[in-house]
Amino acid sequence: MTMSATADEKLLRALTALLGQKGIVTPDEIAERVALTDAASPGQGARMVARAWVDPAYRALMLADGTRAAETLGIPMRGAPPLGVLENTAGLHHLVVCTLCSCYPRAVLGYPPFWFKSAAYRARAVRDPRGLLAEFGTVLPDHVRVRVVDSTADYRWMVLPLRPPETAGWDEARLAGLVREGDMIGVTQVAC
């Protein structure tokens, strides 16, 4: 262990103790939040997408209040910024970016992929979204409008991708297995 790691650990312990002394948060609450964040994964968001594809009432809730929709499926959102959900359609494709840093809906998608935080991704998403999408293998017809949406510290976004038509009759678990992290950021489209 390096000396700076030891100093960082001491600082973290001191900060945690101070927060507890002030009655702001307990060490158990911090440990719970860390465990919830570590347990989050794109599978959480995929469950939400699959439910929205088979349940119109849930889809409406998800589009109106992503935070409540997540909590309905047992995904803890306490302490997280509000979650907005953007629906892709036959004529509109959403691409999520955080232009300032790496604001990401971790509660429903887990930790962001390394490229999401890169300056190159952030700049290209705004400057040349179709070119960026093509690099991910997503080539959209000319009539499809691309809308770039900025995730911020105050509001996080995820995408409700289009359901592939060949999945009619599939159950939620099978549908959730199709949905990838990139589909919920908008860099890819769900494929069978």
From 102, 118, 151, 192, the catalytic residue: 102
**At a CB cut-off of 8 Å and minimum separation 6, what does 163 contact?**
53, 175, 190
With H, G, I as helix, E, B as strand and everything else as coil, classify residue 26.
coil
CATH of the domain at 180: 3.90.330.10
Encode pLDDT of 120-149 as tens digits: 999 999 999 999 999 999 999 999 999 999
Name the phi and psi angles at 120, rounded to 5: -65, -45
Please say if 103 is a catalytic residue. yes
pTM, rounded to two decimals: 0.86
Give the domain extent around 33. Answer: 3-37
Encode pLDDT of 22-66 as tens digits: 989 888 888 887 887 788 899 999 999 999 999 999 999 999 999
* Lowest mean pLDDT, pick from 12-16, 119-123, 147-151: 12-16
Whether residue 100 lies inside any domain: the answer is yes
Please say if 102 is a catalytic residue. yes
In this structure, are 68 and 121 located in the same domain?
A: yes
In this structure, are 163 and 90 located in the same domain?
A: yes
In this structure, are 145 and 76 located in the same domain?
A: yes
From 4, 41, 103, 151, the catalytic residue: 103
Whether residue 191 lies inside any domain: the answer is no
With H, G, I as helix, E, B as strand and everything else as coil, classify residue 80.
coil
Confidence of residue 187 (pLDDT cuts 50, 70, 90): very high
In this structure, are 19 and 70 located in the same domain?
A: no
Amino acid 146: pLDDT: 98
Whether residue 190 lies inside any domain: the answer is no
Amino acid 5: pLDDT: 67
Amino acid 68: pLDDT: 98
- Count of structural domains, the chain: 2
From 4, 41, 98, 192, the catalytic residue: 98
- Name the residue type at position 3: M
In this structure, are 99 and 26 located in the same domain?
A: no
In this structure, are 18 and 98 located in the same domain?
A: no
From 4, 41, 101, 192, the catalytic residue: 101
The full DSSP string for 87-125 is E--SSEEEEEE-SSS----HHHH-SPPGGGGSHHHHHHH
Whether residue 129 lies inside any domain: the answer is yes
In this structure, are 27 and 65 located in the same domain?
A: no
Whether residue 192 lies inside any domain: the answer is no
- CA–CA gap between residue 108 and residue 37 (Å, rounded): 9
Please say if 98 is a catalytic residue. yes
Buried b / exposed e along 36-72 (16+ C-beta atoms within 10 A): beeebebebbbbbbbbbbeeeebbebbeebbbebbee
Mean per-residue pLDDT, 64-81: 94
Whether residue 68 lies inside any domain: the answer is yes
In this structure, are 7 and 75 located in the same domain?
A: no
In this structure, are 16 and 67 located in the same domain?
A: no
In this structure, are 52 and 32 located in the same domain?
A: no
**At a CB cut-off of 8 Å and minimum separation 6, what does 2 contact?**
none
Q: What are 183's two structure tokens?
A: 């589909």
In this structure, are 93 and 32 located in the same domain?
A: no
Whether residue 127 lies inside any domain: the answer is yes
In this structure, are 110 and 31 located in the same domain?
A: no
